[in-house]
Amino acid sequence: MTPGPPERSARGWFIAALVVALAVRVVFVLVLPFGQTVAHRLEGLNDEPAHFAYVRYLAEHRALPVQRHHAAEPGAFARADFEYYQPPLYYLVCAPLVGVAGERLGLILSRKISFLAGLASLLVLWSILERLGLSDGARRAGVVFAAFLPVHVYFTSVVSNDGLCWLLALMLARELLMRAQGEAPGAANLRLGILLGLGMLTKSALAVFYPVVVLACLLGARREPGRRALGRALLGALVAIGVSVLLAGPWYARNLHLYGSPFALEVGFGPHEPGRWSLTAQAHAALATLRSFWFPMQHIASQPMVRALRALELLLAAAHVAALAWFLRRQLEPPVVVALALLATAFASHIALSFAWGESEGRFLLPALGSIVYIIAAPVFALAARRKSGERLAWIYLIALAVHPYLFLAFA
């Protein structure tokens, strides 16, 4: 059936928006300065040199490095040797490119691996939003929102394991939504385990998926009668987790042997930061999380318009929390429960980092990117459905919401 003019127009605007977002991402890959310097009003990532040093070490030595200094030590950023505790998959993908092309071109090629992971993430996100029950219009707006979101654009434009981590997280989320919907073909447990293992070999932050794997399997079992379904679900979860441990276990056993800790977070971040349990410290952490979620660069000086924009973001966050509470009054389908559970585990992990080390970057929530886009887009479109031209207004609002942080660059 041929789509009518309104549908063709919506698709046309969707494609046009993605083309613009793609152009922004290409510019970031090519123009972002290396390290924490500023050029063209853009600030580079302060630990990109450390990520690239990991890639360069693998290319030169063809062996895994051992970390001997943490990021809080004096001179850590000058030495750029504080990311070696990270799981190796992303760096192993980039190392051959640096070995063949050399450091200068290898840097751009390593950034392009992150760039490609970011683009692939948008494709997986489309499927996730469909499984969460969003309409075509809401899915398009959600994908465009993620395509422009500065924190996603920024970290998928530099040498960092975040882009590949978020891609694998979205692929895992899609698998879990399928499981919650009762779709579990014969190879599903093996596929889920492989994805989880690869995720854990990319970044240990994806450990948040382990409890959600069990939950998704149990929710899927509820669709089948009898106790055998529950047993099969638990066995499937055990198989998936077991496969992931077989894949990623050697890396974490190495960490335990070398550093005395499977995740080696103390090796990466340094000693725990005292005084983090006060309400004041956690309020500052919450504000820092919100600020860095919308705009990840740190070089914008405080001035009246900047403070006004940040105050607006705080009001918008409160409004979205209220809209979400209104939206979730209805009965939740199993896929939505899984998405919310994933967001809850990501928040719990983020809060634990904040309590221990004062790490309050918004990007630490992006393993739950699919859930974040859903809880932002779904209530907006549900409210917009009450108006005749509501979908168009919802589209405009979500694009403006994603694009507004770029205004900070005017004050750089």
Number of domains forming the structure of the chain:
1
Is 12 a member of any domain?
no
pLDDT by 10s per residue, the chain, length 412: 445 555 677 788 899 999 999 999 999 999 999 999 999 999 999 999 999 999 999 999 999 999 998 888 898 888 999 999 999 999 999 999 999 999 999 999 999 999 999 999 999 999 999 999 999 999 999 999 999 999 999 999 999 999 999 999 999 999 999 999 887 666 789 999 999 999 999 999 999 999 999 999 989 887 776 677 788 888 889 999 999 999 999 999 999 999 999 999 999 998 887 777 788 888 888 899 999 999 999 999 999 999 999 999 999 999 999 999 999 988 789 999 999 999 999 999 999 998 888 888 999 999 999 999 999 999 999 999 878 788 899 999 999 999 999 999 999 8
CA 12 vs. chain centroid, Å, equals: 28
pLDDT of residue 187: 74
Q: Helices 136-148 and 369-384 meet at what angle, rounded to 10?
A: 130
pLDDT of residue 184: 65
Is 230 a member of any domain?
yes
Is 2 a member of any domain?
no
Task: Determine phi and psi for 281, rounding to 5 degrees.
Answer: -65, -40
pLDDT of residue 11: 85
Report how far residue 201's alpha carbon sits from residue 92's, in angstroms, rounded to the nearest whole number: 10
The answer to pTM > 0.75 is yes
Q: Domain residues for 159?
A: 17-261+275-411
Residue 177, both tokens: 């939504």
How many Cα atoms occupy the beta-carbon half-sphere of 181 within 13 Å? 17
Is 200 a member of any domain?
yes
pLDDT of residue 1: 43
As to burial, measured by CB atoms within 10 angstroms (0-12 exposed, 13-18 middle, 19+ buried), residue 123 is exposed
- Residue appearing with tokens 């450990």: 207
Is 287 a member of any domain?
yes
Is 43 a member of any domain?
yes
- The SS3 call for residue 59 is helix
pLDDT of residue 62: 95
pLDDT of residue 226: 66
CB atoms within 10 A of CB 215: 19
Is 9 a member of any domain?
no
Is 213 a member of any domain?
yes
